Amino acid sequence: MEIVLSHLTKKFPARGKKNQKEVTAVNDVDFVIPDGKLVGLLGPSGCGKSTTLHLLCGLQKPTEGQILFGKEDVTPLPPEKRGVGMVFQNYALYPHLNVEQNIRFPLENLKGAEKLSKEQMRERVLEAAGLVQITELLDRKPAELSGGQQQRVAIARALVKLPRVLLLDEPLSNLDARLRLQTREEIRRIQTKTAITTIFVTHDQEEAMSISDLIVVMKDGVIQQTGKPQEVYDDPSNLFVASFLGTPPINLFEGRVQDGRLLLDKDAVLQVKGVPDQAVHVGIRPEGFLLQKDGSLSCAFVRREVMGRDVSIVSTHPASQAPSIRSIVDAESCQNLSGETVRFALHPRKVFLFDKTTGARIPCEIKER
């Protein structure tokens, strides 16, 4: 089912002496989640991700705006009437209930036409447990499960009511690195199989990029950019988005556009069309540096770090905003790297210019010298 968030705003009032300012947790958020897709809602802590989910599931009422599920305006509906399955960050299972009872819990209080018989409940529980592959754990108590297994129970519990929408709030944050990797693929598998429209909240850009059909990048309650992960990575709309996506992160420089050339300190690195002379922020992705003897960017070599197939070259440059620059090159191209200077040519499509004051991307055509 398609979900529409239309001019959605949530303000929390100022409270007492400590919180003297009203907080706008979600600020005029406008986007459409296509039917059956997995959308990754991404942003730093405090940017309004959880609040957005709480508005969607009905735990909180928006100050302004509307939420549509398909054609239906669900804004005035209480949580139980929305058909939403939610997995919270701490996935709070009931410790005294076993896995089966935990999963069944949301079904017990269904009333009227929705009421299920014992057999129907059992069938639903088995179906949900099968989907997350914990059928053999139904008799156990939560304390007898690993973190990853508890997570699966929480997901099964969210799925058992056959929700129209699945909301996951940082569902992997309590798992260790390896389990996170495994569980995120699991979530993708379940989502693909059930085709439930899903919103997956995370502060981890890699996690969001890897499993989402679409990502929504948020900052201070405001959507910065939405799109397919690769498109947002390749074409960031501002400095925040460019810096937030990518590991290792984008390298930032103080640059200058002058007479159609992009200058980083004394190095004229690229041609720029359509930009009046001005100082700019320059972002260069780590894979945008190409080792070249007569390359236009001249850096001081610090060290190389082998990272499996690739090699990371750490260097410095006077125009770099960070103490060092990190570039990724393939192992073969830097076998006989030596000396104090390392020179790079830059890949024009991996270089972005941003406005010095607003941080907005400056539209322009960038070419090799």
Contacts of 198 (CB under 8 A, 6+ apart): 37, 38, 39, 165, 166, 167, 168, 191
Tell me which of Mg ion, ligand ADP, none is bound by residue 46, counting a contact when its beta carbon lies within the kind-specific cut-off of 5 to 8 angstroms: ligand ADP
**Closest residue to bound Mg ion by CB:** 50
Tokens of 230: 């690769």
The HSE-up count of residue 174 (CA atoms within 13 Å, CB side) is 16
Q: Decide if residue 202 touches Mg ion (CB under 5 A).
A: no
Q: From 25-33, 48-56, 213-221, 340-348, give the range in contact with Mg ion by CB under 5 A.
A: 48-56
Closer residue to Mg ion in complex, CB, 2/204: 204
Q: Decide if residue 364 touches ligand ADP (CB under 6 A).
A: no
Closer residue to Mg ion in complex, CB, 50/198: 50
Q: Decide if residue 208 touches ligand ADP (CB under 6 A).
A: no
Closer residue to Mg ion in complex, CB, 50/150: 50
Q: Residue 99 and residue 112: Cα distance in Å, rounded? A: 26
Q: Decide if residue 50 touches Mg ion (CB under 5 A).
A: yes
Of the residues 40, 48, 163, 229, which one makes contact with ligand ADP according to CB under 6 A: 48
Contacts of 308 (CB under 8 A, 6+ apart): none
Q: From 45-53, 223-231, 282-290, 326-334, give the range in contact with ligand ADP by CB under 6 A.
A: 45-53
Tell me which of ligand ADP, Mg ion, none is bound by residue 31, counting a contact when its beta carbon lies within the kind-specific cut-off of 5 to 8 angstroms: none
Contact 347, 286 (CB under 8 A): no
AA letter at 79: P
Q: Residue 369 and residue 353: Cα distance in Å, rounded? A: 16
Tell me which of ligand ADP, Mg ion, none is bound by residue 301, counting a contact when its beta carbon lies within the kind-specific cut-off of 5 to 8 angstroms: none
Count of positions on this chain that bind ligand ADP (CB under 6 A): 11
Count of positions on this chain that bind Mg ion (CB under 5 A): 1
Report phi then psi at 354, rounded to 5.
Answer: -130, 145
Q: From 38-46, 68-76, 160-168, 303-311, give the range in contact with ligand ADP by CB under 6 A.
A: 38-46
Length of the chain: 369
Interface pattern 153-192 for ligand ADP (x via CB under 6 A):
----------------------------------------
Minimum CB distance to Mg ion, residue 148 (Å): 21
* Per-position DSSP letters for 255-321, written without gaps between them: EEEETTEEEETTEEEEEEES--SEEEEEEE-GGGEEE-TT-SEEEEEEEEEEETTEEEEEEE-TTBS
Q: Decide if residue 23 touches ligand ADP (CB under 6 A).
A: yes
Q: Decide if residue 325 touches ligand ADP (CB under 6 A).
A: no
Q: Decide if residue 46 touches ligand ADP (CB under 6 A).
A: yes
N-term to C-term CA, the chain: 49
Q: Decide if residue 50 touches ligand ADP (CB under 6 A).
A: yes
Give the CA-trace dihedral at 213, 214, 220, 224, to 10 degrees.
150
Can you give the binding site for ligand ADP, defined by CB under 6 A? 12, 23, 25, 43, 45-51
